[in-house]
Structure 1
Amino acid sequence: MANREALRELQTRLASRLQAARSGDVSVAWLAVKAGESNYLFPLAQSGEIFPLTNVQVVPYCRQWFMGVVNLRGGLFGVVDLASFMSGGSTRGRTEQSLAESSVITINSALELNCALMVDGLAGLRKRDAFAGAEAPPEGSPVFFGTRFTDRDGAHWQEINLQSLSQLPEFLSISA
């Protein structure tokens, strides 16, 4: 129970910082998330709101990485398990505990796609100066991969261009 409250507090703090970053002259560039074993950076201008993962309604005959739909603030959003989408794997096999600790991040409404990405963890907001190095994405990477950053601890963070992802035919085609 304490973990849920801590997660809600983190989500509330991140949501208020996201709003402040969008409205002010703050030099925050990304929302940092963890999905599976990977670290990702979502550009703030392309990211939407953060919600806890709750009440996902399963949709039959969909790809394994498409978890279903959820009602967020009165809008119907498709939920994509980001780790499964990236690996081509399945959303099955996750424990109830891991799902309870997961969050969904909507894609900015300006991109006109009612979609939310399920992530395993939130890692806060990042500025460019939080990273020690940057390099082009590895050869053969998906078109939505942006710069690959390395933080001061040596961890790699892959920037995801949510606009490019949201236009990708493979992402838009959820039928199995």
Structure 2
Amino acid sequence: MNTKPVQQTRNQVKTSTDNSETSSAVLGVAVGEDRYLISMSEVSEVIPIPKLAHVPLTQPWFLGLANIRGNLYGITDLGAYLEKVSMPFNQKSRILLSSPADKLYGGFIVNSMLGIRNLSEFTPAKPAKKKLPKGIIKQYKDTEGRLWQGLSLFALIRDEKFLQIARE
């Protein structure tokens, strides 16, 4: 009797269960006064702000390049990129590293980390605008009535605006 197909099926079920649990885990971050929820599957690492290599003639939201373990990451001021008021960075500021499968490397500076959350803690909110801005996938409210925005770093990295860092 061959048990290999049964074992593969059990592993596939376990993997799909693990993925659904992971997909509900989100990272809460603050960018200025705004709060965002980012899928843990889109964040490969969270690091303090390293020394950045300045790149001249680039968009104001593009802060430079960082060499992280041999990979060059373009570092973006997330607040400026989302056209929010850019807040100064401090000791609580961090860079979220993200790298979709197509080898695009992006780092996004946020003002502070608000911890790992579960989406079950939030209720979906109707957006004030009919169309959400690029990268914003959904809006949520927490138990205290504060608005949180679901943000996809992968969508931002693949956005045409993000790929054009040269100043026009």
TM-score by length of 1: 0.75
Q: Taking structure 1 as reference, are residues 27 and 58 closer, same or farther at Cα in structure 2, changes over 3 Å only?
A: closer
More helix by percentage: 1
Letter of the 1:29 partner, please give it. Answer: A
Find runs of 4+ consecutive structure 1 residues off by over 6 angstroms: none
For structure 2, the residue ranges without an aligned partner over 5 or more in a row are 1-17
Indicate the structure (1 or 2) with the bigger Cα radius of gyration. Answer: 2
Alpha-carbon distance in structure 1 between the residues aligned to 2:91 and 2:52: 12
Partner in structure 2 of residue 166 of structure 1: 157
Alpha-carbon distance in structure 1 between the residues aligned to 2:131 and 2:97: 27
Q: Is the 8 A contact 1:40 1:158 kept in 2?
A: yes
Query: Of 121, 127, 136, which residue of structure 1 is paired with 2:112?
Result: 121
Alpha-carbon distance in structure 2 between the residues aligned to 1:111 and 1:124: 28
What's the CA shift for 1:50? 0.5
Letter of the 1:42 partner, please give it. Answer: I
Partner in structure 2 of residue 135 of structure 1: 125
Aligned-pair Cα RMSD in Å: 2.3
Residues 54-101 of structure 1 deviation map (CA, whole Å, 9 limit, x = unaligned)? 201211000000010112122211100001111166x6x73xxx3443
Question: Is 1:30 matched with 2:30?
Answer: no
Number of matched residues?
149
Equivalences for residues 73-152 of structure 1 within 5 A? 73-87=69-83, 94=88, 98-131=89-122, 133-137=123-127, 138-152=129-143
Partner in structure 2 of residue 40 of structure 1: 36
Partner in structure 2 of residue 50 of structure 1: 46
Q: Indicate the larger mover: 104-113 or 144-153.
A: 104-113
Letter of the 2:164 partner, please give it. Answer: S
TM-score by length of 2: 0.78
Letter of the 1:140 partner, please give it. Answer: K
Query: Of 58, 62, 76, which residue of structure 2 is paired with 1:62?
Result: 58
For structure 1, the residue ranges without an aligned partner over 5 or more in a row are 1-21
Q: Percent identity?
A: 27
